[in-house]
Amino acid sequence: MFYHRKDEFLYPVRVSGPDPKFASMLVEQLAGQNGELAAGMQYIIQGLKCKNPKIKDLLLDIGTEELNHLEMVGHMIGLLAGEQVSTASPEEFSFQLLGGGGPLWINSLGSPFSSTYVDAVGDIAADLQSNIAAEFRAKAVYERLYRQAKDPAVQDFIKFLISREEAHANLFRQALDEVQGQGVLKDFVDTGYSRQYYDLSQPAQYGQYT
């Protein structure tokens, strides 16, 4: 059961002033491929089908936290957008025109959110691996946004989100350690073909993995 607290965020969301251009970039982490909506939907749907009670709880906890992040990012987008729709620059105009500068289920290019962003194959090991990668991808995008941000308050907020991506990746790694030998990891690399390296890109210059 979900409840919404209107008067509480996990971390302060503040801006020094409007910055519609950065708002149109930050919307990528609202509903883009590596954004908060995709992460929340991914972990919650995995949690609903997970048979391991401990990992199910982890997935639903982190999925719920991602919805908190979604709300905070959406709130910051609204603060950054400001009110001056008529003065938007060309690169900001579509974002301002479609949503008045407020959050929409689109990415920074204006493409709508897609359920294809959600990875949930139903194998506990494969899903946890996917989740670790998802957290790293989100961290990479937030780090790029951090470098583009000019407002110290916005940078501070993004640093918090980067820290939480790291925390989630670490938690998913711990969960993955607990399911070694399960799912797709069962009988992993158990044939001669599983251990062969096909050196098909010639000439070979840098050695081989085994």
| 95 pLDDT more than 70 | no
**Cis-peptide, bond into residue 203, ω within 30° of zero:** yes
Q: Give the number of domains in the chain.
A: 1
Residues 110-137: what's their mean pLDDT? 97
Q: Which residue has the higher pLDDT, 95 or 164?
A: 164
Task: Residue count of the chain, please give it.
Answer: 210
Domain for residue 91, yes or no? Answer: yes
pLDDT tens profile 151-195: 999 999 999 999 999 999 999 999 999 999 999 988 877 778 887
Domain for residue 206, yes or no? Answer: no
Instruction: Give pLDDT, residue 103.
Output: 87
In a 13 Å sphere around the CA of 136, the CA atoms on its Cβ side amount to: 9
Distance (Å, rounded) from C-alpha 103 to C-alpha 95?
9
Domain for residue 27, yes or no? Answer: yes
Instruction: Give pLDDT, residue 177.
Output: 97
Find out whether 134 and 42 touch, Cβ atoms under 8 Å.
yes
Quote the tokens at residue 45: 């749907």
Domain for residue 72, yes or no? Answer: yes
For the annotated binding site for Mn(2+), the residues are 36, 66, 69, 135, 168
Q: What is the largest CA-CA distance in the chain?
A: 65
Instruction: Give pLDDT, residue 107.
Output: 92
For the annotated binding site for Ca(2+), the residues are 57, 61, 201
Nearest alpha-carbon partner for 135 in 19, 42, 28: 42
Instruction: Give pLDDT, residue 93.
Output: 60
Find out whether 183 and 126 touch, Cβ atoms under 8 Å.
yes
Instruction: Give pLDDT, residue 7.
Output: 87
CATH code of the domain in which 176 resides:
1.20.1260.10
pLDDT tier at 94, thresholds 50, 70, 90: low
**Residue 136: domain span:** 20-195
Domain for residue 6, yes or no? Answer: no
DSSP secondary structure letters along 189-209: T-STGGG-----SSS--S---
Domain for residue 208, yes or no? Answer: no
Highest mean pLDDT among 72-86, 100-114, 147-161, 196-210: 147-161
Instruction: Give pLDDT, residue 171.
Output: 99
For the annotated binding site, the residues are 36, 57, 61, 66, 69, 135, 168, 201
